[in-house]
């Protein structure tokens, strides 16, 4: 498929280009819905489609008014800040507890490793609506429902599997003789951890943290049930907006979120390459 050999028959040539066309169409399907949001968010009218002015590329057809609304309207700013207050704390919890546990899990002798692993991964396996229902019932019993800490705990639980998976994957390539060498040279376990182990597994920890952050930042089902109006997050606001009175400001919010995910994607890719270089593997 890589390149067409010079001896290819006509049929092969046709298929080769047809196949590329099919793939291009699928890529279009994947990416177009996301890209189309961006120009639409600059619409000067309150429409969800391209106005004739926009199609003529008339500057009149474009405006920043939806962005002004997004950044000026408390309906959007309060949820944005709520998201920014919840996600970092939840991420910190997941990363701190998750990294410790991942290090424990990567020891050579761990009793009940499979059962423990299954329990720790379970928040990723169980459908969100079921987690949300269970948390709603249980957190109401213990008085956490509708509180900031309830949402933080719930989001931390949801982010943990990602931290566990990425950090254990990094630890697979970790050379354990390095910690022994450090100990041999007189470093205590804590010092060994921060000076030797941590720098090497840092890419895994950071990408796990990014996964946990995006899980919390993007999560809507659980917060919908566990949170109350005081914890309304950005995705929640978007969800309400989509369900009830859909306003084009949502497109501005979406564009902002797309920019964030592009930044995250690039960061992760850089981290992945660095981690593989550190482990002595070729990139890719």
Partner 1 sequence: MTDSAMTPPKQPMAALPGGEVTEGPMLAADGTPLKASLKRALRREKLRALLLISPLLIFILVAFVAPIADMLFRSVENQIVSETLPRTVAALEADEALPEEAPGEEVFHALYTDLVIAEEYKVHTRLGSRLNYEMTGLSSLFRGTGRDVGRFDTDIYTDQFVEAEPALEDPVNWSNWMSEEEIRDALPLTADAWDAWTTLTVEANEDDPLEEDVADFVYTALYRDLANGAAPANFPDVDVSSFETVSIRALFEDSDEDWLDPEVWQVIQTYSPAYTDGYFLNSVDMMNGPGGDAQWRPDDEQIYLKLFWRTMWMSMAITFSCILLGYPIAYLLSTLPLRSANVLMILVLLPFWTSLLVRTSAWKVLLQQQGVINDTLVWIGIVSDANRLALINNATGTIIAMTHILLPFMILPLYSVMKTIPPSYVRAAKSMGANDWTAFWRVWFPLSIPGIGAGSILAFILSIGYYITPEIVGGTEGVFISNRIAYHISSSLNWGLAAALGSILLALVLVLYWLYDRIVGIDNVKLGG
Residue 165 lies near partner 1 (rule: CB under 8 A): yes
Residues 43/54, Cβ–Cβ less than 8 Å: yes
Residue 123 lies near partner 1 (rule: CB under 8 A): yes
Residue 52 lies near partner 1 (rule: CB under 8 A): no
Residue 254 lies near partner 1 (rule: CB under 8 A): yes
Residue 120 lies near partner 1 (rule: CB under 8 A): yes
Residues in contact with partner 1, counted by CB under 8 A, come to a total of: 97
CB of residue 9 to partner 1, shortest distance in Å: 10
Q: What is the DSSP letter of 247?
A: -
Q: Which stretch binds partner 1 (CB under 8 A): 41-49, 56-64, 73-81, 194-202?
A: 41-49
**How far is it, in rounded angstroms, from Cα 136 to Cα 208?**
26
Q: What are phi and psi of 17, to 5 degrees?
A: -75, -35
What is the distance, to the nearest Å, from the Cα of residue 133 to the centroid of all Cα atoms in its chain?
Answer: 22
> How crowded is residue 165: how many other Cβ atoms within 10 Å of its Cβ?
19
CB of residue 158 to partner 1, shortest distance in Å: 8
Nearest alpha-carbon partner for 109 in 176, 51, 32, 58: 176
Query: What residue spans of 8-73 are helical by DSSP H?
Result: 10-40, 52-55, 65-72
Q: Convert residues 187-206 into a mask of x (bound to partner 1 by CB under 8 A) and - (unbound).
A: -xx-----------------
Residue 138 lies near partner 1 (rule: CB under 8 A): yes
Residue 78 lies near partner 1 (rule: CB under 8 A): no
Residues 136/145, Cβ–Cβ less than 8 Å: yes
CB of residue 73 to partner 1, shortest distance in Å: 17
CB of residue 88 to partner 1, shortest distance in Å: 17
């Amino acid at each position: 498929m890589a390149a067409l050999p010079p001896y290819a028959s006509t049929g092969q040539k046709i298929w080769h280009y047809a196949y590329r066309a099919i793939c291009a169409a699928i890529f279009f399907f994947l990416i177009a819905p996301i890209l189309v949001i961006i120009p639409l968010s600059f619409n000067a009218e309150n429409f969800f489609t391209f106005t004739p002015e926009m199609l003529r590329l008339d500057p009149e057809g474009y405006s920043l008014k939806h962005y002004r609304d997004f950044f000026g309207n408390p309906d959007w700013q309060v949820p944005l800040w709520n998201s920014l207050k919840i996600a970092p704390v939840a991420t910190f919890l997941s990363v701190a507890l998750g990294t410790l546990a991942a290090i424990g899990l990567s020891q050579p002798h761990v009793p009940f490793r499979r059962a423990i692993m299954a329990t720790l991964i379970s928040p990723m396996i169980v459908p969100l609506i079921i987690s949300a229902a269970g948390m709603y019932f249980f957190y109401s019993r213990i008085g956490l429902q509708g509180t900031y800490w309830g949402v933080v705990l719930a989001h931390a639980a949801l982010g943990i599997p990602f931290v566990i998976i990425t950090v254990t994957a990094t630890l697979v390539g970790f050379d354990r003789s390095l910690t022994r060498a450090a100990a041999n040279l007189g470093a205590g376990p804590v010092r060994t951890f921060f000076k030797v182990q941590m720098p090497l597994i840092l890419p895994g920890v950071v990408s796990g943290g990014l996964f946990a952050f995006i899980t919390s930042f993007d999560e809507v089902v659980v917060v919908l049930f566990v949170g109350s109006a005081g914890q309304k997050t950005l995705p929640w606001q978007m969800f309400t907006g989509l369900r009830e009175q859909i306003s084009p400001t949502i497109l501005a919010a979406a564009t902002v979120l797309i920019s964030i995910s592009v930044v995250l994607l690039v960061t992760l890719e850089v981290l992945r390459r660095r981690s593989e270089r550190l482990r002595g593997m070729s990139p890719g």
